Structure 1
Amino acid sequence: MPVTVPYVLEDRTGLNTGSDFDDLYDRIFFRVARLPQKTTTMIYSMNMRGSRHRDKLPFNQEPVAILDFTPNESLGTISYVQHPLNFSLPMSRYLRKTSIFGGSLLRKFVGSDGREYKWGYRVIEGQEWSCTTTDNYLVAHYDLKPPDVRAFDVTGNNLTIYEHFFHLTLEIIASFTIMRHIAQHNL
């Protein structure tokens, strides 16, 4: 049985409102970008790796997901616009706290496959963010570059998505972007 390498998506800037997530093996590419002077973040499926040169090219791509935050940066609406489900939901319903008294940085969502997944901040040693199934099977994780490792022209921060969950890549990136927004704005 062939071994499939997980998607290792390099977070090109480390910024939640403007970065590219490029697979190290050139299989998939996503751009997360905030509209200028707005509270809307768009997620685009790209045809090529992010680069300094791409930013100089005309950009006329349609987003695959839209994250509309409120004017005060609190949770708004998530919309999948080129997704098999093609739906919009309030973010608070899409990405719910795991319990009434649970922390804001531990949340769950239902994937397009009908299964429940949960994100947690620093719940697994060595991982900044972890996404697991309800029975704690690791789906994806976000790792920061160790401070003692040099990185040249990259951030060294990576989002890793495991093979059995490749079909959820867009949902993982969208929910992860919301989780980072929650942490950034103490929601």
Structure 2
Amino acid sequence: MRPLQMPYMFEDRTGHVAASDYDDIYDRMFLRVVPHPRSPTRNDNVLAIYSMGRRSTRHGDTRHLERQPSVILEFAEGAAGGLGNINFFYPPAPSVTMPMSKYLRKTAFFGGSLSRKFRASDGREYRWEHKSADGHEWSCISEENYLVAHYDLRQPHMPAYGVSGNTLTVHESFCHLSIGRLLLSLTLPSDILASLLIMRYIAEHNL
């Protein structure tokens, strides 16, 4: 019998799209999202996702500067914001760049902007939906309509203890997606996190 694997439960430290650490509560994986350090403007339009290897214990930790980002999200310039490109870096495979609008497509031609589908690194298609299932803020659903992952906001009555209280959960059967491109390695960030950040950006900017 295959041993039961606990889902990845990432604690979103700040709740901000442009800057946060996502730490698995069981200390198996630690991801960071920050403005790209080599972006000419150093603003929130260009975000980098890093696999950190261990939990950060102090504010202002800069260990990510020693690492290669696994994903870069380049949003369009301007006050209104907009969708730009997503860049994947998974050595030794070549880097891949594509428009976000092609990576995350509306599920229906005349459908709302907050229901979009993407093809993940396992070759399968998944979709994100906003406030559609069991009270989750965001739900990631497979082609077979299984719940793959969900992002939840802190309930008003729950204490946060210095963090946002928001959580990203990736269920056991799909944990490889939280790591990336079929490589079961803790050095690679997720298809799920990258696509979720774009969806949250779309919602925040009414795109």
Please indicate, yes or no, whether the TM-score normalized by the shorter chain is above 0.5. yes
The separation in 2 between residues aligned to 1:161 and 1:142, in whole angstroms, is 9
Superposed counterparts of 1:16-165, under 5 Å: 16-35=17-36, 36-37=42-43, 39-53=45-59, 55=61, 59-72=65-78, 73-82=81-90, 84=93, 86-165=95-174
Structure 2 SS opposite 1:59: helix
Question: Structure 2: 5+ residue runs without aligned partners?
Answer: 37-41, 179-189
- Determine if the alignment matches structure 1 residue 8 to structure 2 residue 9: yes
* TM-score between the two structures when normalised by the length of structure 2: 0.85
Amino acid paired to 1:182: I
Q: Which stretch of structure 1 is more off in the superposition, 134-143 or 35-44?
A: 35-44
* TM-score between the two structures when normalised by the length of structure 1: 0.94
Structure 2 SS opposite 1:177: helix
The separation in 1 between residues aligned to 2:143 and 2:77, in whole angstroms, is 33
Alpha-carbon deviation of 1:132?
0.5
The structure-2 alpha-carbon separation of the partners of 1:92 and 1:141, relative to structure 1 and needing over 3 Å to count, comes to same
The separation in 2 between residues aligned to 1:148 and 1:58, in whole angstroms, is 34
The structure-2 alpha-carbon separation of the partners of 1:57 and 1:42, relative to structure 1 and needing over 3 Å to count, comes to closer
The separation in 2 between residues aligned to 1:80 and 1:150, in whole angstroms, is 36
Q: CA RMSD in A?
A: 1.6
Alpha-carbon deviation of 1:149?
1.1
Checking the alignment, whether the CA contact within 8 Å between 2:50 and 2:64 is kept in structure 1 is no
Deviations 1:73-99 (A, max 9, x none): 200000101265731110000000001
The structure-2 alpha-carbon separation of the partners of 1:5 and 1:22, relative to structure 1 and needing over 3 Å to count, comes to same
Amino acid paired to 2:103: Y
The separation in 2 between residues aligned to 1:19 and 1:105, in whole angstroms, is 22
The separation in 2 between residues aligned to 1:135 and 1:74, in whole angstroms, is 31
Structure 1 residue aligned with 2:194? 174
- Deviating runs (4+, > 6 A) in structure 1? none
Checking the alignment, whether the CA contact within 8 Å between 2:23 and 2:29 is kept in structure 1 is yes
The structure-2 alpha-carbon separation of the partners of 1:55 and 1:87, relative to structure 1 and needing over 3 Å to count, comes to same
The separation in 2 between residues aligned to 1:123 and 1:58, in whole angstroms, is 35
Structure 1 SS opposite 2:61: helix
Alpha-carbon deviation of 1:139?
0.4
Alpha-carbon deviation of 1:38?
5.3
